[in-house]
Amino acid sequence: MKDHLGRPLVAVTGIGIVTPLAWGREASWAAVKAGKSGISRIRRFPVDKLRTTIAGTVELPEEAAGGPVASSPLRVERMAAAAIEEALAQAALGTGGAFPGPLMLGMPPVEYEWPQRFELARQANGDGSYRAALGVAAGRQDLYETFMFGGVGEHLAVRFGTTGAPIALTTACATGASAIQMAVEAIQRGEAAAAIALGADGSVQPEAVIRFSLLSALTARNDAPEKASRPFEKTRDGFVMSEGAAALVLESLEHATARGATVLGILSGCGERADSFHRTRSNPDGHAIIGAMRNAIADAGLAPADVGYVNAHGTGTPENDKMETLGMRAVFGEAPPPISSNKSMIGHTLSAAGAIEAAFSLLTIRDQVLPPTINHNEPDPAITLDVVPNVARSVSGLRHVLSNSFGFGGQNVCLVVSAAP
Amino acid sequence: MTRQDVVITGIGLVSSLGEGPDTHWDILSRPGAAPVLDEATFAPWPVHPLPALNLDAQIPKKGDQRQMEPWQRLGTYAAGLAIDQAGARGLVSDMHLIVAAGGGERDVAVDEAVATALCTTPPAEAGPILNERLATDLRPTLFLAQLSNLLAGNISIVHGVTGSSRTFMGEEQAAADAVRIAAARLSEGRGGIALVGGAYASQRWDLVLLYGAGGAVWRGPFAPVSARPDPGGFVGGALGAFLVLETAGHAAARGAKPLARLAGVATDVAHVRAGGGAARAAQALHARLGAPAGAGLGVLSGMTGVAEARAEEDAFLATLGAIAVRRTGSLLGHGVEAAFPANVALGALALSRGGFYPAMDPADAGDGAVERILVTGFGQWRGEALALLERAA
């Protein structure tokens, strides 16, 4: 019931997943195992004049029925709620609106989007100034609660009855992993017997697409969306923005065992290391990502050789995949374990990625199947890794998976997930 | 798990009153301090403006300064002040970091021009024009200046803080939880030293709009927080506030002199606030901290001026029997994510100087020797938080 450092072991008892492939854990996972791409042409808004016109998107049911496009915070909240519900149902814990622990919510920063700006300007008789917007925004509690950073967390905390103050956090592309780490620490600390960890992102809106595009981070392979995300492949040229959410129900193994819950796996290690090199690039020596990987493995009480598979950060930018390769070779030496990137199928779900990929890592152990890295046509000689090209692979005896998340701003978090004891 | 004592060894404080512990102590420890205000630029919404900063002193590279807007610069600057006071420049590579962040600056001119030009254009027609204008008008660096986690990123880049890096989002509550978790991690042995705090750049239309839509921003001539008639509201105060926290053992081993002991931080959220909900939540937190009350207890209140939160906090304060209560917001304004760390910093400052502050607000009452300080944080909308500070041993 305790780990090698005398801390309570942290069990996963519920998993919920929303991806562009499906609303739901098993359907999303089945599609990932089948190597199916969830990337498509953006239909949510006009894409004329955009350099990148593709993304992974998750439509809300009312949008699919022709309703107005939801704002990012609303999309985040809805996907988060769906993922939490699925996870609670599987865990059979806290399903009645009273969950016995806190909510750790990884999500993107949110702000007014253009539909809100246009609406206020119209109400101000065509005056788009902030001063005029203030004149007509008074009393708009809806805008206030939707776009304040604490809004989504408060709404979810009320709905699911989590304890204490919900904690919303961002560490860029490592956000989902950070949320899991926060939940693990809370349980190890004895602050709670259980916690919900969540990562969610729904940022495919014009300004966000343009901003990532201006940073030259996105691929513009618009002609064949399903082939655009090419992590570790020679012709990779950027990531594909995407949306989704994943929730984990975490509890001390003792708590899970005492109530007879099915343990899906153990969140056995968390490691982090920040980088001080550059706002969007890793230090070329890779020490921060190497440090994060090593810290996670050590935190789990394991040696690198115990790790049987790595769920890559694998964004498909030339830089990331090169640095991740460097990190893999530094940590694992001449015989690194297989590594594959879920992002080849679902794109880069940004704040959700760390949580979705940790969830898929648990399912990888459950099914003893490594999901593939699709679109692997031309190997990159600089990527000296087994990336499980194109087709999923059955394995046996896989007990420990390392899941990597490396963020803009140098925020790197790695997790080790392990089979149930 | 053995819990270790956590102490504060450095504070980095920038407000409309100036920067640094000496300036703040000089101004705030004398009766009759007056707030610094700009009541014209955003009229009828007053703000406490940012003071002039010698950015080169903390952000030596011009290239780094250019990659940021005022909010990130303010936070990065205040973080540097805290590291300096702690004498911890040599410890940054293993220093853990938690930042409470809002959103960064937008390009107001672009926002206003595009909103005016396209607000009445049918969406199908406006979309392509919007795409073209944004792709042309948005500066790539502004995205990085806008990203919430890039305040932490800049602190890593400029000051070399790389132990770990987390950014919490959620207004006042995020900052209180940042201090709570930074302290808890040290206490349980996850590192020996941490940097935690936030920043608020008050002179921003986008923030006045965001919080003003919920009626949380005070509109009208300046008034102290206790004297803003219902529904009240906060006056935004430029504020950068960071704390260097250490385990007592870590500080002692390197000969660092603690300013104060952080005896505890407790947070919660009353989902229904009015009618005593928030006051009861705070009372429960107060009990969790060991229920300090009566003689020797001073309170530094983070009261925002929003009426509902104020009524709840007043009800809570009335139960304390504290010897002195000070509403810092009447002089500093309200700095949202920076407010709680700033009040903890002011508490550590007072304990380190062996004194307390005279009244800051007409409702401030009591006087006498203060041995322990309770910091309160009732968020403008949600969140209740308390911190207890004691004299360092």
Domain boundaries of chain B, sorted by first residue: 6-104+147-390, 108-142
Point out which residues pair with A195 in neighbouring strands. Answer: A250
Q: How far apart are CA B67 and CA B304, in angstroms?
A: 31
Sequence-distant (≥ 6) Cβ neighbours of residue A335 within 8 angstroms: none
CA B307-B381-B225 angle, to 5 degrees, is 35
For tokens 């809004």, name the residue. Answer: A151
Q: Do A189 and B188 touch (CB under 8 A)?
A: yes
Task: Kindly state whether A136 is in contact with chain B, defined as any CB-CB distance less than 8 angstroms.
Answer: no
Q: Do A129 and B116 touch (CB under 8 A)?
A: yes
Q: Which chain B residue has the Cα nearest residue A272?
A: B164
Fill in the DSSP letter of residue A204. -
Structural contact between residues B131 and A50, judged by C-beta atoms closer than 8 angstroms:
yes
Specify if A131 maps to a domain.
no
Structural contact between residues B271 and B235, judged by C-beta atoms closer than 8 angstroms:
no
Quickly list DSSP for B270-294.
Answer: -SS-TTTHHHHHHHHHHHHTT---S
Q: Identify which of A121, A111, A130 has the alpha carbon closest to the alpha carbon of residue A211.
A: A111
Contacts of A129 in chain B (CB under 8 A): 112, 115-116
Instruction: Residue A231: give the domain boundaries.
Output: 10-110+149-418
Fill in the DSSP letter of residue A14. E
pLDDT value of residue B114 = 98
pLDDT value of residue B1 = 55
Tokens for A333, please give them.
């030496």
Q: How far apart are CA B327 and CA B341, in angstroms?
A: 15
Specify if A329 maps to a domain.
yes
Region of residue A238 (phi > 0: left; psi between -120 and 50: alpha; otherwise: beta)? left
Structural contact between residues B285 and B260, judged by C-beta atoms closer than 8 angstroms:
no
pLDDT value of residue A277 = 80
Which CATH number goes with the domain that contains A411? 3.40.47.10
Point out which residues pair with A15 in neighbouring strands. Answer: A248
Structural contact between residues B372 and B262, judged by C-beta atoms closer than 8 angstroms:
no
Task: Kindly state whether A145 is in contact with chain B, defined as any CB-CB distance less than 8 angstroms.
Answer: yes
Specify if A36 maps to a domain.
yes
Q: Do B205 and A166 touch (CB under 8 A)?
A: no
Tokens for A9, please give them.
């072991």
Specify if A33 maps to a domain.
yes
For tokens 């950015």, name the residue. Answer: B55
Dmax (CA) of chain A: 67
Q: Do A164 and B166 touch (CB under 8 A)?
A: no
Contacts of B76 in chain A (CB under 8 A): none
Cα dihedral B224, B228, B231, B234, rounded to 10, equals: -20
Specify if A5 maps to a domain.
no
What CATH number should be reported for the domain whose range is B6-104+147-390?
A: 3.40.47.10
pLDDT value of residue B194 = 98
Distance from chain centroid for Cα B355? 22
Amino acid at A314: G
Q: What are phi and psi of A55, to 5 degrees?
A: -170, 170
Write the pLDDT tens digit of every residue in B241-256: 999 999 999 999 999 9
- ipTM field: 0.97
Rg (CA), chain B: 21
Specify if A229 maps to a domain.
yes
Q: How far apart are CA B357 and CA B346, in angstroms?
A: 9
H or E element that contains B266: strand B260-268
Contacts of B218 in chain A (CB under 8 A): none
Tokens for B252, please give them.
């002692």
Q: Identify which of A14, A17, A12 has the alpha carbon closest to the alpha carbon of residue A371.
A: A17
Task: Kindly state whether A182 is in contact with chain B, defined as any CB-CB distance less than 8 angstroms.
Answer: yes
Q: How far apart are CA A76 and CA A205, in angstroms?
A: 13
Contacts of B381 in chain A (CB under 8 A): 144-145, 148, 150, 154
Question: Among A49, A119, A145, whose Cβ lies nearest the Cβ of B135?
Answer: A49
Specify if A141 maps to a domain.
no
H or E element that contains A288: helix A287-299
Write the pLDDT tens digit of every residue in A406-418: 987 678 999 999 9
- The distance of B224 to chain A (nearest Cα, Å) reads 22
Contacts of A157 in chain B (CB under 8 A): 269, 271
Write the pLDDT tens digit of every residue in A193-228: 999 999 999 999 999 999 999 989 999 999 999 999
- Strand A167-170 to A309-311 pairing: unpaired
Q: How far apart are CA B286 and CA B288, in angstroms?
A: 5
Point out which residues pair with B152 in neighbouring strands. Answer: none
3-state secondary structure of B24: helix
H or E element that contains B28: helix B20-28
Specify if A26 maps to a domain.
yes
Structural contact between residues B78 and B14, judged by C-beta atoms closer than 8 angstroms:
yes
- The distance of A112 to chain B (nearest Cα, Å) reads 8
Q: How far are the Cα atoms of A42, A156, A354, A403, A404 from residue A340, in angstroms, in the given order?
A: 26, 32, 14, 10, 11
Interface with A, mutate which of B92, B143, B268 (most A CBs under 10 A) = B143
Structural domains of chain A, count: 1
pLDDT value of residue A284 = 86
Q: Identify which of B236, B228, B303, B306 has the alpha carbon closest to the alpha carbon of residue B49.
A: B236
Write the pLDDT tens digit of every residue in A142-192: 999 999 999 999 999 999 999 999 999 999 999 999 999 999 999 999 999
Q: Which chain A residue has the Cα nearest residue B44?
A: A131
Q: Do A276 and B157 touch (CB under 8 A)?
A: yes
As annotated, the active-site residues of A are 173, 313, 348
Q: Cite the DSSP H helix spans in A300-378.
A: 318-332, 343-346, 353-367
Q: How far apart are CA B76 and CA B12, in angstroms?
A: 10
Residues of chain A with confidence (pLDDT) below 50: none
Residues of chain B with confidence (pLDDT) below 70: 1
3-state secondary structure of B252: helix
Region of residue A119 (phi > 0: left; psi between -120 and 50: alpha; otherwise: beta)? alpha
